Structure 1
């Protein structure tokens, strides 16, 4: 869930206050426990209907209210039946989101082909060199016999022991499993078997995904002892690629923010502030050199926001490209899984390994993934909306100008002029449905974060979003899909500010991919989750700034090629935090 819908399209608090609703809310206002019948004393009388109308923005006559009462009473019986049905988090709705418009040829690659730039062997590395090395450099050393996977794994485990408590970025360290996997990989390499670029590379996974040997806590007290059903799809695919699982990173409770049941995950560049969320631990651990890469998720900003705060690189893939099976569902029509790394090409290599159709994920799409570092920049059509230059920071403007100077074809891009704020109602409704039992059992009180904008209050307020309003939101979503398709015609890559461009919300709902990458540094004071000053009197710290790139559906390749070139031009990605 994004913590950053605030500068374009209204704040999350504004969206909650302005949420439309309908009379279906009457039938659920009692918030009964799952095993109790839905009951409103005296039934839905005309007087109660009249008293609720202001909440829903409607007005009826006395005769209409009298006529409605009997119908609403019958619906109470249906709601009681509905609540009696077991609906685990893994049960997806029958209606499945597909980002593809009818009749459009998306030129989806038929197979996955990734061609990264070559890497020189280099000198024998020290521990810090290993800790902050790229996947390509680690792979070069491994294949040359310069270092073993077990040695790399032990380096990361020592760093986790030293720095993870300060950063509060690991919820479970899986040292035994990691060492066993690393030893098995070293035996394979010694026998001449190399599965691919991730063979022997240690990583961490956001604690929304099952991994055998550790609880799957979802960052939330009610689930902190929840045991997995084997490995999730993402963990299985990375294991097949030869990657070594170090453990589970912290995430904001139920995929929102950086507050979890054990604390607040910290930004390695300024531990006085949180790392943002909800892929908080994955971003913090990667930026701090506690793993080579990590897996995160995004529903509405949860990869982009912590990557910006911690200065990591992250890819939010096209919706449906990466399987979510075995992971927590927050919003079935929005959830996406992607890699976090320290460079653009590292993320491309991870995406190559985790891309692919999975029948266990109702939203999965069969799509190849193509990336070529040698694609001529002159063949890439780069778009930027001129309006963004007025809202971008100086560091963001410098990155946009640097991208314009790379030799790509400069073309016009205009963000569609549509309302995006109401789209968030779909997230609120799906998330409230995913965790209905938490609300109705009152176990939402166990969540650590209880502010007005936190999940407990949001889930309760979502009860007053009507089915009619939700369908209208879905129709607006279709309109955005059509408008964004038109906006991307003749454009390969778009660059702009992550938040003030107004692209974060609509591209999440249309399913478009995004690359967020470090572009410089600013002097900042400790910030809240929503980027307000947490302590205006505190000394400043030098913290990362990021820029975002977007591309048409399933066309991540040119976006990554341009991102790699921009990364080289800016030369800020390798700066390490002073832990």
Structure 2
């Protein structure tokens, strides 16, 4: 149910405690407020001093921020408080499109540290793909490194590969609820173009002719990009995202837009819940829900996902895919929905480690239109012998760890790496969550102020609507100190990675998923085995009281120093080869 006008007015005016604003020009500012507010659909603030903010109001507000002022101090704060509130209201009335980034830009690089220059080159593992299988499912589930060789050798056409995937999407996608929009016309046109180009001797690289799925928060001109959310379900993209352009230049074939949890959170979107192919009774986790589900079920060759705080790693864990989250700034976000400007990253979801390297090679590169974009070459050698590689780990992470995590650690040891103990200091890492909460609330302020956040399907306490409302009460002073804590964590992570080529551990152990997202370090989620699990909620707990369990996949995380994705790709391939689980398929989709 929509909020009352009174409630909306209070949201618009807000509660601000601080120094007094300037009163000059209030009449002209009020007139401007009304015209701007009308244009963006937000109620303008009333120009009066009767907001009811008293010393008692401040005394109650102090409880939210864990501060305590004297009566005299409160009386002093009240002087000019109406000007402060009105200034905030004028700011809110200004139209700020989703793509408008803050002036302060996050840079993961540490001062005084030099980073290795790299060429743009990926060396394949050199493995023999064997002949093209006779069964279409076998072709569909083949990793793209095999498909790329078959295409280049003219053993199969992109047209046939695309038709296989379109047929599988038609048969399975509804059950998994993993596609928002399928684009068969685009797919077949791009497949035919790829076949013509290869026949003419024009080879664009490993992705040339490979069909893929694109997360629905990334734009394709003329195609819906709904962000998974009811308020945007009819949104049509006006231009291609930078990543879309890079993939088209690489010759990849767009099959369609895969589902995203609403506003890049979870697996619940405006028209359903995306399913885990290994247990369709449960969601696929998110927010790259459809990308992981479709890849796991063999509906695409690979998919593009995004991660702000686990949205590649978590659905890869649930669906058993390999997910590569690159160094922050390596891949442009231009044309992708902004959730958290200082955290958002775009990466690959695939069925083998080697595949993720080819995808990153295609989308890596500087973009002057993205203020956070960095210019960094990308080297990876998938044939690299990892013997002697120094790999950090914390023994405490593996106490009581899943069998698959232990198997991954043992596989790394068997590959000849040197395991080195590493740890991070005891810091309040959960305080960092304020960054994503506040940035997301700012990015989608319009939904909160107009009451349109009520249109989002998920309305539980952990969901975005409540988070955004609560974020209004984050102190600006505390936010700056959170950012200072983030700098402290970056320095500590730099020390942890000093002298090692990679780190290994369970995905969520030691707050490493949180730490490395906030520091910008790359992560590779490697499929490492299986576990017996009940049907789970989005947060991993049992969804019901049934004692029924399902065999579901498990992945283990590898982390690397900034810009050194090549290290974890080589290590991940070595682990993958030794564990021998990557080719297994979910029943019902084989």
Structure 1 length-normalised TM: 0.93
Q: What is the CA-CA distance between 1:26 and the residue it aligns to? A: 13
User: For residues 259 and 24 of structure 1, what CA distance do their matches in structure 2 show?
Assistant: 39
For residues 83-482 of structure 1, the aligned pairs below 5 Å read 83-109=92-118, 111-125=119-133, 126-482=135-491
Give 1:551 deviation, angstroms: 0.7
- Which residue of structure 2 aligns with residue 10 of structure 1? none
Q: Is the 8 A contact 2:126 2:383 kept in 1?
A: no
Q: Does structure 1 retain, via aligned residues, the 8 Å contact 2:16–2:85?
A: no
Match of 2:550 in 1: 541
Q: Give the SS at the match of 1:440.
A: helix
- Counterpart-to-counterpart distance in 1, 2:272 and 2:547: 22
Query: Distance in 2 between the 1:391 and 1:337 partners?
Result: 32
Distance 1:191 1:273, change over 3 A: same
Q: How far is the alpha carbon of 1:378 from its aligned partner?
A: 2.2
Q: Which residue of 2 aligns with 1:7?
A: none
The 8 Å contact of residues 188 and 194 in structure 1, kept in 2 or not, is answered as yes
**Aligned match for 1:44, one of 24, 43, 53:** 53
Instruction: Give the C-alpha shift of residue 167 in structure 1.
Output: 0.2
8 Å contact kept, 1:199–1:242:
yes
Helix, strand or coil at the partner of 1:86? coil
Q: Secondary structure at the match of 1:378?
A: coil
**Large movers: runs of 4+ above 4 Å:** 24-27, 38-41
**2:48 is the counterpart of 1:54:** no
Which stretch shifts more, 398-407 or 276-285?
A: 398-407
The total of aligned residue pairs comes to 554
Deviation by residue 1:12-55 (Cα, 9 ceiling, x = unmatched)? xxxxxxxxx9836999xxxx972321688434221211122212
Distance 1:57 1:116, change over 3 A: same
For residue 77 of structure 1, report the CA deviation from its aligned partner: 2.2
* 1:167–1:26 CA distance, 2 compared to 1 (3 A): farther
Shift of 1:122: 2.1
Contact 1:381 1:411 in 2 (8 A): yes
Rounded Cα–Cα distance in structure 2 between residues aligned with 1:457 and 1:26: 29
In the alignment, what sits opposite 2:29?
none
CA contact (8 A) 1:428 1:459 kept: yes
Change (3 A) 1:123 1:490: same
SS of residue in 2 equivalent to 1:377: coil
Tell me the TM-score normalised to structure 2 length.
0.91
Shift of 1:205: 0.4
Mean Cα displacement is larger for which, 397-406 or 523-532?
Answer: 397-406
* Bigger Cα Rg: 2
Q: CA deviation at 1:389?
A: 1.6
Moved more, 85-94 or 206-215: 206-215
**SS at 2:578 equivalent:** helix
Alignment pair present for 1:23 and 2:21: no
Instruction: Pick closer, same or farther for the CA change 1:363–1:432 going to 2, 3 Å.
Output: same
Q: Deviations over 1:239-271 (max 9, x none)?
A: 000000000000100000000001000000000
1:523–1:542 CA contact under 8 A, matched in 2: yes
Distance in 2 (CA, whole Å) between partners of 1:146 and 1:571 is 26
Distance in 1 of aligned mates of 2:410 and 2:197: 47
Distance 1:214 1:121 in 2: 35
**Contact residue 323 and residue 358 of structure 1 kept, 8 A:** yes
C-alpha distance in 2 between matches for 1:476 and 1:115: 39
Q: Alignment partner for residue 35 of structure 1, among 43, 63, 83?
A: 43
Separation in structure 1 between the aligned mates of residue 18 and residue 316 of structure 2, nearest angstrom: 39
User: Is residue 222–residue 238 contact of structure 2 (8 Å, CA) maintained in 1?
Assistant: no
Cα separation, 2, equivalents of 1:386 and 1:394: 15
Q: What corresponds to 2:7 in structure 1?
A: none
Deviations 1:364-420 (A, max 9, x none): 000011111233312411111111121422321222122122101222211332220
Q: Is the 8 A contact 1:22 1:466 kept in 2?
A: no
TM-fit CA distance, 1:496: 0.3
Higher deviation after alignment, 67-76 or 98-107:
67-76
Which range moves more in the overlay, 39-48 or 65-74? Answer: 39-48
- Determine the C-alpha separation between the residues in 2 that align with 1:483 and 1:108: 23
Q: 1:152 to 1:169 in 2, by over 3 A?
A: same
How many Å separate the matches in 1 of 2:410 and 2:194?
44
